[in-house]
């Protein structure tokens, strides 16, 4: 599936989703939000796709909302009018059951920052930069930034970023635990595709279930989360035979031996 503002490439079990408004630094227009929503609905409905990579064309990951369109005051311009098509983009991304990797190639600003945080892990190019300008534009975040960022890097650091609007470099983001790793620009997509392929080589139902287990439990107090994990594990174990485990055993050991050599 591709449109002029969004490109989707499927290769084996991995889909690469590219925001394609490079002249506008991939800012979120209503058209782009609608395309991204439809793309993730399509990926969720495709049983062959286990992992998604999200990136941007050109020099930016996503510069946030299209402020020209936002200032027009038209229907759906704000991104939060649920009566307008494409306003549930965030819900479509959250509903994708497989891992999502953000390949942040350049600026990830405000809503673009929220898009990166909607992913399960962030791999950043050395040219990546993060900023939250909600307070400078004069709007409040609604796609998770105010809640996810403090949980990732601590409340004081999150407040510094959001209350100043200052840019955070890739190196600083890595030091603070915002991104998983920083790589050279030419290594960004190859690195993400390698990680995605490794994830996709896992047992599909367990891969999806593990994401759900972590995400659901993370929102609970620890004692409740531990009970939830045990109950979920027991139900999962009932579905797996000893013969199935035995059949997968040698593959796990072989991969372990290969990893040890590296």
Nearest to 128 by CA among 103, 99, 94, 96: 103
SS (H, E, C) 92-115: HHHHCCCCEEEEECCEEECHHHHH
Mean pLDDT in the chain? 91
pLDDT digits (tens, 9 = 90+) for 215-246: 999 999 999 999 999 999 999 988 877 666 76
| Distances 217 to 106, 117, 119, 225 between C-alpha atoms, Å | 32, 18, 17, 5
Is the Cα dihedral 15, 20, 26, 27 positive or negative?
negative
At 70, the pLDDT band (50, 70, 90 cuts) reads confident
- pLDDT at position 74 is 58
The architecture of the domain spanning 2-200 is Alpha-Beta Complex (3.90)
**Cβ within 8 Å of residue 191, ≥6 positions away:** 123, 181, 183
| Token couple for 244 | 């199935």
Q: What is the DSSP letter of 181?
A: E
The 10s digit of each residue's pLDDT in 192-205 is: 999 999 999 999 99
Q: Is the pLDDT of residue 144 over 80?
A: yes
Give mean pLDDT, residues 134-138.
94
Query: CB of 98 within 8 A of CB of 110?
Result: no
Three-state DSSP class for residue 130: strand
Q: What is the pLDDT of residue 248?
A: 63
Report the b/e string of 158-185 with b at 16+ CB within 10 A.
beebbeeeeebebebbbebebbeebbee
Residue 252, pLDDT score:
67
Span 96-130, pLDDT tens digits = 999 999 999 999 999 999 999 999 999 999 999 99
Domain spans of the chain? Answer: 2-200, 220-261
159-186 per-position pLDDT tens digit = 999 999 999 999 999 999 999 999 999 9
Q: Rounded to the nearest 5 degrees, what angle is found at the Cα of 214, between the Cα atoms of 125 and 33?
A: 55
Backbone angles phi, psi at 46, to 5 degrees: -90, 110
> Residue 239 half-sphere exposure, CB side, CA atoms within 13 Å?
8
């Amino acid at each position: 599936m591709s449109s002029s503002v969004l490109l989707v490439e499927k290769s084996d079990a991995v889909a690469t989703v590219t925001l394609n408004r490079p002249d506008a630094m991939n800012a979120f227009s209503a058209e782009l939000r609608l395309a991204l929503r439809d793309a993730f609905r399509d990926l969720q409905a495709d049983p062959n796709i286990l992992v998604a990579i999200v990136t941007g064309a050109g020099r930016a990951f996503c510069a946030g909302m299209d402020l020209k369109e936002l200032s027009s005051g038209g229907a759906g311009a704000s991104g939060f009018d649920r009566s307008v098509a494409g306003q549930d983009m965030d819900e479509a991304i959250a509903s994708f059951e497989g891992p999502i990797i953000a390949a942040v190639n350049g600026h990830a600003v405000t809503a673009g920052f929220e898009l990166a945080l909607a992913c399960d892990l962030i791999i950043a190019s050395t040219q990546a930069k993060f900023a939250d300008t909600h307070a400078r534009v004069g709007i409040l975040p609604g796609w998770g930034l105010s809640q996810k960022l403090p949980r990732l890097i601590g409340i004081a650091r999150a407040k510094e970023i959001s209350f100043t609007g200052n840019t955070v470099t890739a190196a600083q983001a890595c030091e603070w635990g915002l991104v998983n790793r920083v790589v050279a620009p030419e290594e960004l997509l190859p690195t993400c595709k390698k990680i995605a392929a490794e994830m996709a080589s896992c047992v599909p139902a367990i891969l999806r279930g593990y994401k759900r287990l972590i995400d659901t439990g993370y929102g609970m107090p620890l004692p409740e989360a531990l009970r939830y994990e045990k109950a979920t594990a027991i139900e999962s174990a009932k579905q797996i035979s000893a013969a199935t485990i035995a059949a997968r055993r040698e593959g796990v050991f072989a991969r372990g031996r290969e990893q040890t050599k590296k």
